[in-house]
Structure 1
Amino acid sequence: MNQFARITAIEYELPEKTLSNDELARDFPEWNVEKIFSKTGINVRHIVAADECASDLAFRACEKLLNSGVVERSDIDFIMLCTQSPDYFLPATACILQDRLKLSTQCGAFDYNQGCSGFIYGLGLAKGLIETGQAKNILLVTAETYSKYINPADKSVRTLFGDAAAATLVQATEDGPYIDRFRYGTDGAGAKNLIVPIGGSRHPSTLNQEPDLYTDDSGNTRSDADLYMNGSEIFEFSMTRIPQLFFSIFDQDFTLDQVDLFAFHQANKFMLDSLRRRIKLPVDKFIAEFEHCGNTVSSSIPIALKKSLEKGVLVEGKTVVGVGFGVGYSWAGCVIKW
C-alpha cells in the first residue's frame, strides 16, 4: 500500500537571552527604536549564550516534541538536521543529537547545510524517504546560531538575525499527498553576497590570530571571520527569483485561489512586504511571524507555522504554500496540506 509524507507536529526553541531594539539603538545612535522597527518589523531577537550551540537548541526543541506524546521516541527512524552552525566540522551534529535524544541506533541521521531554504528542502528529503519506504517517522530539525558569526558593530545583520531551532515531525500516512509540488532553484554566483569568508578549507582561520577589522561605506564594522550580507543584492535576487518560483507551483490543476495561507521565509518586514506586493497576495493570507524572534534562517517557516497553529489561523484542512530563499543563492517552494 502506498504511503505519503505528512507534517503532524512542530515545536521550537528560542534562547533565553534577548536583544531588543532599545539595546540596538544604544549601540547605533544613528538608528532609533522606531527606525529599526520600521525597517525590519522586528522588536526582539533571541541570542544564544557563549557556551550554547545549535545542538542545544535543537535538543530542547526535539524534547518538547517527543515529550508531547505525539510519537514514541522508539519509533523515530530518521533525523535530519539543517544547520550552518554545526557543533563541529565533523562528526555530523545530527549524530550527536541522536545520542542525546536516546533514539534507536537503527535511526538514520545526517546534517545538511542549506540556510533559509532549508526547511522546504528538508520536507522534500523527508517526502522522498517516506514515500520510497525508507522511513516512517522523521524528525526534521532546523537549528541556527548566526549570532556567533555576527560582529557586534555590524548593524546590517545584527538588527535582523535571531537564534532558534525547530523540530518538525514528518510521518507516513496512507492518505495524501500532504506535501507536494516541490520546486527548487540554485544560483551559486550569489554565494559571495551572504557569506562568512574565513573559517572553512578555502580560507582557514589562523590560530591565535584575529583577522583585520574593516568598516564599510554604511558604517558597519566586521572582519572576514564575520557574517557578511550584501543587502541590495539579496533584495534584487529575491524580487527576481522568488516570484518566478512562486508562480511555477501553479497550473490548471492547482490554482492560486485554492491556497489558504502563504508561509514565506520570514526574512524581514521590508523584504516580505515587497514580495507580497509584487506577487499581489492578500495581507490576510500572508503569514508574518518574526516580530519577537527576528530572522531565524531555516527555522523561520516552521516557527511561523507553529505560531499560526497556536493562534488558530492554521487548522486542519488548510492549504499552505511554503517558500524558502536566501543564502547560496538557494530557493525552494512546495504545497503543504494540513
Structure 2
Amino acid sequence: MTGAKITAIGTYVPAKRLTNADLEQMVDTNNEWIVGRTGIRERRISRQDEYTSDLCVAAVQDLMKRYGKSVEDVDMVLVATSTPDFSFPSVASLIQDRLNIQQTAGAMDLSAACAGFVYALHTAHSYVASGMHRKVLVIGADTISKITDYTDRSTCILFGDGAGAVLVESDKQSTGFLGYQLTSDGSGAHHVYRTGLAHKVNNIELIDTQMLVQNGREVFRWAVRTVPLGVQQLLEKAELGLEQVDWFIPHSANMRMIEPICERMNYPMEQVLHSLVNFGNTSAATIPLALDLGIREGKVKNGQKILMYGFGAGLTQAGQLVELNLDERVGEPTLL
C-alpha cells in the first residue's frame, strides 16, 4: 500500500441566482418560510444549454489555475453525478476529451446521489493506495435544477447546481486518508427517486415523472437517526475521537437536518462547514463546495482533520476522514 493525499481543489457554480424572492413569484412560499425551514437564501441555476460536464470542466480549470496543476497525465477520471448529460456516454469520458487527458486514463461515472463525492473520493484513495493509479481526478457535480419540479414548493426551494473537483495523488510520505464508513439501506429507496426504465421499487408504485421526487420527512428521520451512528463507527475504526476532528462537513441538504445531527453527536456548529446558504442543495457538489468555502475563508488549513459525510438517495451514506495536505497555491480562485 502506498500513501495518498488530496493535493488540489477547484469549484464552480453557474452565474444565475435563484433567490427566495424569485421563488415567491413562482410558488406559494416566502423568504421567512424558506430560511426558517432550510437555512437557504439563494441557489445557482445552470443555463438551458449548460450541463453537468460544463460545470465539471469549469471546476477543474479553477483547480488548475489555483494550484498550477496539469491534468493531462491524470490516469483515472471519476465523476459523481445524478444528472449526467447523457445516460451514456459518461460525463467522465467527456471530461477526458475536453481537458486533453491522456487516452490511457480510465473514465467512469459513479451514481450514489448526495453521497457520491465521498464514494468517489473513497474509490480514488483505493486506486492510488493500491498502486494501480498515481493521479486521480475526482469530481462531484450536479445540475439538479434540470430535474426539479418548480411547481412543487417542498422540493424546488432546496436545489441548486454546482461542481467541485479534487486531485488525489500518490505520496509515500502521506497519511492523508485516515478512515471511512459506507452504508446502504435499499429498503428506503422509494423515499428519494427519479423514475427511469422501472416505475416500481420495494413493491411500491412510483410517481411516473422525470422530475426528482422526495419524501423529505422520511429522509430527515433516517439521516438524523443514522448519520451520528455512522460517524461514531468511522471514528472507532480510525481510533480517533470526535474532539480530534477540526471540521465536520456533512452533506448540505438542509440546515434543519444538519443541526439535530450535530446536536446528537455533541459536535459544535462553529466547526461545521456547509454550502447551502448561497448555493442550496447541490447534491454531489455540496461537500467539495463547503470544503472550498472553508479554504477560501481561511478557516481550513493544512494539517487539520476533516470529516466529510454524505448521505442521500439509495439510501446511501459515505464518510471519509482526511488530514488535509494541499499543495501550495499559485493563483487566485475563481469568484463564486
TM-score, structure 1 normalization: 0.90
2:103 alignment counterpart:
105
The 5 Å alignment of 1:56-205 reads 56-197=54-195, 200-203=196-199
1:316 alignment counterpart:
302
Q: 1:229 aligns with which of 207, 214, 229?
A: 214
Give CA deviations for 1:240-298 in whole Å, capped at 9, x if unaligned: 21111011022393112211111111111111112111211112211233211011111
SS at match of 2:276: coil
- Contact 2:72 2:99 survives alignment (8 Å): no
- Contact 1:141 1:167 survives alignment (8 Å): yes
Distance in 1 between the 2:232 and 2:134 partners?
A: 31
Q: 2:287 aligns with which of 289, 301, 305?
A: 301
Runs (4+) of structure 1 moved beyond 6 Å?
none
2:11 alignment counterpart:
12
1:257 alignment counterpart:
243
Distance in 2 between the 1:238 and 1:253 partners?
A: 24
What's the Cα RMSD here?
Answer: 1.7
Q: How far is the alpha carbon of 1:169 from its aligned partner?
A: 1.1
- Contact 1:9 1:70 survives alignment (8 Å): no
User: Identity of counterpart residues, as a percentage?
Assistant: 31
Give CA deviations for 1:92-146 in whole Å, capped at 9, x if unaligned: 1211110011111111111111111111111110111101111111110111011
Q: How far is the alpha carbon of 1:225 from its aligned partner?
A: 2.1
Distance in 1 between the 2:104 and 2:20 partners?
A: 46
2:323 alignment counterpart:
337
Aligned residues: 317
Q: Structure 1 residues 93 and 289, CA, compared in 2 at 3 Å: closer, same or farther?
A: closer
Q: Name stretches of at least 5 consecutive residues in structure 1 with no aligned partner.
A: 205-221
- Contact 2:27 2:152 survives alignment (8 Å): no
Distance in 2 between the 1:105 and 1:34 partners?
A: 51
Distance in 2 between the 1:119 and 1:93 partners?
A: 14
Task: Tell me, yes or no, if structure 1 residue 290 matches structure 2 residue 276.
Answer: yes
Give CA deviations for 1:151-208 in whole Å, capped at 9, x if unaligned: 11011111111111111111111123211311100011111111112xx22259xxxx
**AA matched with 1:314:** V
Distance in 1 between the 2:274 and 2:123 partners?
A: 26
- Contact 1:320 1:337 survives alignment (8 Å): yes
- Contact 1:7 1:170 survives alignment (8 Å): yes
Q: How far is the alpha carbon of 1:227 from its aligned partner?
A: 1.0
Q: Name stretches of at least 5 consecutive residues in structure 2 with no aligned partner.
A: 201-206, 325-336
Q: How far is the alpha carbon of 1:70 from its aligned partner?
A: 3.3
**AA matched with 1:299:** A
SS at match of 1:249: helix
Give CA deviations for 1:5-34 in whole Å, capped at 9, x if unaligned: 2111111111111110001122234x2211
TM-score, structure 2 normalization: 0.90
Q: How far is the alpha carbon of 1:38 from its aligned partner?
A: 1.4
SS at match of 2:25: helix
Distance in 2 between the 1:84 and 1:288 partners?
A: 20
- Contact 1:180 1:336 survives alignment (8 Å): yes
Distance in 2 between the 1:289 and 1:100 partners?
A: 28
Distance in 2 between the 1:110 and 1:74 partners?
A: 17
SS at match of 2:274: coil
Larger Rg: 1
